[in-house]
Amino acid sequence: MQIILNPQCHQSCGRLVQAYGIIETMKAIDWSPVYKKYKGKWVALADDEVTVLASGETAKEAWEKALKSGFKNPILLGVPEKLTYFVGIIESEI
């Protein structure tokens, strides 16, 4: 079993982690170079979640290009055209 802690999770997560004795931390990933180059496209990423293996207008296109290049199980990411953030149900552009 793997538990990934949410940084905003407090006592209840701590009790859960103590019960299972497992802690794994999440590292931040800087996707800004991917965003700048592939806005509005789909990308197939390597296991490191940063290296772009292929891209396309659709997820299927990016997937197929990555498979043709020899990568068996790429991670698909839809890169948004605009970066936005939200808290609850409020959405704003950056």
37-78 pLDDT, tens per residue?
999 999 999 988 889 999 999 999 999 999 999 999 999 999
User: Is residue 25 very low, low, confident or very high in pLDDT (cuts 50, 70, 90)?
Assistant: low
Q: Is it the case that residue 23 has pLDDT exceeding 70?
A: no
Here the tokens at position 59 are 């997820």
87 pairs with which residues across the strands?
A: 90
Q: Where are the domains of the chain?
A: 1-28, 31-93
Say what the pTM is: 0.61
- Torsion (CA) 66, 49, 79, 60 in degrees, nearest 10: 30
